[in-house]
Chain A
């Protein structure tokens, strides 16, 4: 036996409730809705509202941001998405070729970019241009080296990479959980240039990685690494640099970074338009905004991490304190003493990742 519950009174109640909910829902929808949406696969520095909101307002667009770390993770997201899901992608400069080979990036008209305004060393045409066609443009760069608390360690010790696998600071070291820069750093410590790193070098690199793990307290991603250094949980961060310490320069003047005598790794992030984007013009406008002096200064001092803007004209929009934290005036020397990330082929990449997991399991 069934009982009808949808009596007139109940129905009125339900309708009344639905109307209230609808009104409530309408009330929370912003009155000025963006007419378009742009989907961007980015690194965490692009998620700062101070960077994105001016573009959204100017072009009446909502930028949907998906954050990722490491090219493998980004490509994995794209593989799991439908063509056209993403309009813009931020990618490691050294991986642009890989993305072009996968056929996911669109050509960008070279004359639409302010290439002449970029620091010449970071134009990186070898990486961003394939067969004469520009597929990406460098937007920000910095260094993966050694960050440290200068009140707790001897800054002189930090000038030699071997400190990261020595016992002197055992238990006081954190390692940034990204295999490419850290393996590159270890390689530099062994006297191997990142461009020459090969499978034959892996046994020696593994040995040092394991020694470094033994001396370290933790291996973590950006936030936990930064937190560990800032809270005094550790005194040294392997793989750190200005991108970890500059953002904390006001609150934590005790944090510093150095490029050791063996050299450091230079990271450079590029921005590209996706080949299957249904809004290529808007995507290009976003790229142009990010490359503009205003966009560049905001990106350089993003709340997630700071880094040198690729566009030299951004300096006009940065304060002296911000420039000092970014070591603006030392860039010539730093650029000379740093190397790009290793670019392993698929087999070497698999070996490096296996070595990294082996290290984590030590």
Chain B
């Protein structure tokens, strides 16, 4: 009886702690999401919003090639950025965790995340100047005689990818570094004692144990990259549109909230699928 009362009291206390966060989530996520989902079933007639409760906007998304292409552009950019960021961030995190003396590691991490301190927009515009026809890169390459004509770097997908990678390498470095420093050194010693060479230790011990860090960082990169509007808008030169840019066009130019809501829901579905894949993989890793 006494334990039941204690359990009830504990439950109430737990609910007391959880309720504010729950209310926050309901007010600022669940309700707006339901409203957005409802609006996605409406249609825009002239400047009027008509609650048609049909799937016309979703059908239009799959029928209109330029809208569907927005999703593919977003996915291509996101996968490219995630892959390059992982490839660059892993050695950087490993060097900081393994090769830099412990007393300098904090400083090295600060140096690695220093670009985070700059405004995201300013950083994107800075890249535009660096990549421009008469920017730092082209001027340097021409000065040292490697190229005769300036390369077309700005206003391209490559520029968008570079801008993204610059940002996400920092993020991935942090998640991978956190994983590396938590790994007991005995594992590597044991593997070495059993005759594994340096590469084998990395491949069979270090890499598998740091995969959760890579996956978490990669998922965050995926989510932030696929939903980003600023970088492709500034660095891509509008030469192709990612899905968030198309969403902004629906809002800014056409005030077509139903289509904007539809595209946002589709984007959320993609992110959710990525999350399910990531969560499932992490669960499988643990079992």
User: Which A residues form the contact surface with B (CB < 8 A)?
Assistant: 70, 72-73, 75-76, 79, 102, 171, 177, 217-220, 224, 231-233, 346, 350, 353-354, 357-358, 360-361
User: Which residues of chain B have C-beta atoms less than 8 A from A217's C-beta?
Assistant: 152, 155, 237
Inter-chain contact A73/B252, CB cutoff 8 Å: yes
Inter-chain contact A72/B66, CB cutoff 8 Å: no
Known: A73-B253, A233-B132. A220 touches B246 (CB 8 A): no
User: Which residues of chain B have C-beta atoms less than 8 A from A171's C-beta?
Assistant: 152
Inter-chain contact A218/B155, CB cutoff 8 Å: yes
In the bound complex, how far is the Cα of B176 from the Cα of A59, in angstroms?
60
In the bound complex, how far is the Cα of B155 from the Cα of A171, in angstroms?
11
Considering only residues 151-187 of chain B, those with a C-beta below 8 Å from chain A are: 152, 154-155
User: Which residues of chain A have C-beta atoms less than 8 A from B237's C-beta?
Assistant: 217-220, 224
Task: Determine how close the nearest CB of chain B comes to the CB of A22; give it in whole angstroms.
Answer: 29
Considering only residues 238-273 of chain B, those with a C-beta below 8 Å from chain A are: 238-241, 246, 249, 251-255
Q: List 13 A-B contacts (CB under 8 A).
A: A72-B255, A75-B47, A76-B251, A79-B47, A218-B155, A220-B155, A220-B237, A233-B133, A346-B46, A346-B47, A357-B246, A360-B239, A361-B65
Interface size on B, residues (CB 8 A): 28
User: Which residues of chain A have C-beta atoms less than 8 A from B252's C-beta?
Assistant: 70, 72-73, 76
Inter-chain contact B154/A233, CB cutoff 8 Å: yes
Q: Nearest CB to that of A361 among chain B residues?
A: B66
A72 contact from B73, B152, B253, Cβ within 8 A: B253
Inter-chain contact A220/B238, CB cutoff 8 Å: yes
Task: Determine how close the nearest CB of chain A comes to the CB of B280; give it in whole angstroms.
Answer: 33
Known: A232-B134, A233-B133. A219 touches B238 (CB 8 A): yes
Task: Determine how close the nearest CB of chain A comes to the CB of B45; give it in whole angstroms.
Answer: 8
Task: Determine how close the nearest CB of chain B comes to the CB of A181; give it in whole angstroms.
Answer: 14
Binding site of B, secondary structure by majority: helix, strand, loop or mixed?
loop
In the bound complex, how far is the Cα of B159 from the Cα of A89, in angstroms?
37
In the bound complex, how far is the Cα of B180 from the Cα of A219, in angstroms?
44
User: Which residues of chain A have C-beta atoms less than 8 A from B239's C-beta?
Assistant: 218-219, 360
A360 contact from B64, B133, B154, B241, Cβ within 8 A: B241
Known: A218-B238, A219-B239. A232 touches B133 (CB 8 A): yes
Inter-chain contact B132/A357, CB cutoff 8 Å: no
Interface centre among A171, A177, A231 (most CB of B within 10 A): A231
Considering only residues 216-255 of chain B, those with a C-beta below 8 Å from chain A are: 237-241, 246, 249, 251-255
Known: A76-B255, A357-B249, A361-B70. A102 touches B47 (CB 8 A): yes
In the bound complex, how far is the Cα of B238 from the Cα of A358, in angstroms?
12
User: Which B residues form the contact surface with A (CB < 8 A)?
Assistant: 45-47, 64-67, 69-70, 73, 132-134, 152, 154-155, 237-241, 246, 249, 251-255
Task: Determine how close the nearest CB of chain B comes to the CB of A78; give it in whole angstroms.
Answer: 9
In the bound complex, how far is the Cα of B65 from the Cα of A224, in angstroms?
27
Inter-chain contact B155/A361, CB cutoff 8 Å: no
In the bound complex, how far is the Cα of B249 from the Cα of A350, in angstroms?
12
User: Which residues of chain A have C-beta atoms less than 8 A from B251's C-beta?
Assistant: 76
Known: A233-B154, A360-B241. A353 touches B253 (CB 8 A): yes
Interface centre among B238, B241, B246, B249 (most CB of A within 10 A): B238
In the bound complex, how far is the Cα of B153 from the Cα of A218, in angstroms?
12
Task: Determine how close the nearest CB of chain B comes to the CB of A226; give it in whole angstroms.
Answer: 14
Known: A217-B155, A232-B134. A177 touches B238 (CB 8 A): yes
Task: Determine how close the nearest CB of chain A comes to the CB of B244; give it in whole angstroms.
Answer: 14
In the bound complex, how far is the Cα of B129 from the Cα of A276, in angstroms?
44
Inter-chain contact B69/A361, CB cutoff 8 Å: yes
In the bound complex, how far is the Cα of B98 from the Cα of A325, in angstroms?
63
Task: Determine how close the nearest CB of chain A comes to the CB of B52; give it in whole angstroms.
Answer: 16
In the bound complex, how far is the Cα of B239 from the Cα of A258, in angstroms?
26
User: Which residues of chain B have C-beta atoms less than 8 A from A73's C-beta?
Assistant: 252-253
Q: Nearest CB to that of B129 among chain A residues?
A: A231
Task: Determine how close the nearest CB of chain A comes to the CB of B235; give it in whole angstroms.
Answer: 11
In the bound complex, how far is the Cα of B46 from the Cα of A102, in angstroms?
11
User: Which residues of chain B have C-beta atoms less than 8 A from A360's C-beta?
Assistant: 66, 238-241
User: Which residues of chain A have C-beta atoms less than 8 A from B154's C-beta?
Assistant: 233
In the bound complex, how far is the Cα of B47 from the Cα of A217, in angstroms?
34
Q: Which 4 A-B pairs have the closest CB atoms?
A: A218-B237, A76-B255, A219-B238, A346-B46
In the bound complex, how far is the Cα of B248 from the Cα of A70, in angstroms?
14
Task: Determine how close the nearest CB of chain B comes to the CB of A166; give it in whole angstroms.
Answer: 19
In the bound complex, how far is the Cα of B249 from the Cα of A357, in angstroms?
9
Q: Nearest CB to that of B236 among chain A residues?
A: A218
